[in-house]
Amino acid sequence: MRLVTVGTGTVALTAERSRSCQWLEAGSHRLLMDCGSGTAQRLPALGLPWPLVTHLLLTHFHPDHHGDLPTLFQAWKHGMMTPRSAPMTIVGPVGTWGLLERLAQAYGDWILAPGWPVTLVEIQPGERLSVGDGTVIEARPVPHTVESVAYSIERGGRRIVYTGDTGFDAGLAAWARDCDLLLTECSLPASMPVAGHLTPEECAELARLAQPRHLVLTHLYPPVERVDIAGIIREKFTGPLDVAFDGFEVRIEEGE
């Protein structure tokens, strides 16, 4: 699997960090996890083949995680030499169909019937969604908004967990236990805590409990970058650690 953190920022707009988006290549699949505002600019800027997305996964309904969905649909419909015909699967929490219906009321029915086959899956907690080619997607509710979920992507004996936006949850850590890569939000410093988001201290505790083989932090508000994030994490988790940036890339070789 190959993960590229396309957008590592938040609703606090900065030039360096676009809103949340992750690109994940898993076998023959190309998954986009969240597509916050700015995604449509970052994907081509990073040289990622945006026409070839096979799966779109949404963690929750804040615009910094899905704001570029209409722009992407418009690009796939009108922005390619040959309009898209390849099928696409959209995976999201319960309520995703309603979100698409409301977007269609604003933009037009082409959101629901864009001209290529779209399968919508409102994934249930604990459901294991096999999407073919040996890739399995799972979701777990997280404490952020009522619909918010984290995702697990498994393939070839390897597992990536992406928290989306979340508050601290020991159950989430247990669910992510021993994953190969834990991509977690790390929003704000402990001096500015906000319910439904994590501080570096909470990320450290999450990692201590989950013991991922690689910890990667994303969704950073500017104030959190003024504290010693790595130093705080190191007090509880000594495994491989990266603070992501837009375009940060990790490859995970498949196991036996």
- Rounded to a whole number of angstroms, the minimum distance from the CB of residue 166 to Zn ion is 9
Residues 123, 92 contacting (CB under 8 angstroms)? yes
Number of residues that bind Zn ion (CB under 5 A): 3
Q: Which is nearer to Zn ion, 72 or 88 (CB)?
A: 72
CA dist 33 and 54 (Å) reads 11
Torsion, Cα of 201, 206, 207, 213 (10° steps): -150
Q: Residue from 8, 22, 64, 218 that binds Zn ion (CB under 5 A)?
A: 64
Q: Residue ranges of the alpha helices (H) in 191-247?
A: 200-210, 229-234
Q: Which stretch binds Zn ion (CB under 5 A): 95-103, 115-123, 162-170, 234-242?
A: 162-170
**Residue 165 engages Zn ion in binding (rule: CB under 5 A):** yes
Strands 21-26 and 158-162: unpaired
Q: Which stretch binds Zn ion (CB under 5 A): 58-66, 83-91, 120-128, 149-157?
A: 58-66
Q: Which is nearer to Zn ion, 62 or 140 (CB)?
A: 62
- Rounded to a whole number of angstroms, the minimum distance from the CB of residue 145 to Zn ion is 6
**Residue 66 engages Zn ion in binding (rule: CB under 5 A):** no
3-state helix, strand, coil in the chain (%, to 5): 25, 25, 45
What does the binding site for Zn ion look like in residue numbers (CB under 5 A)?
A: 62, 64, 165
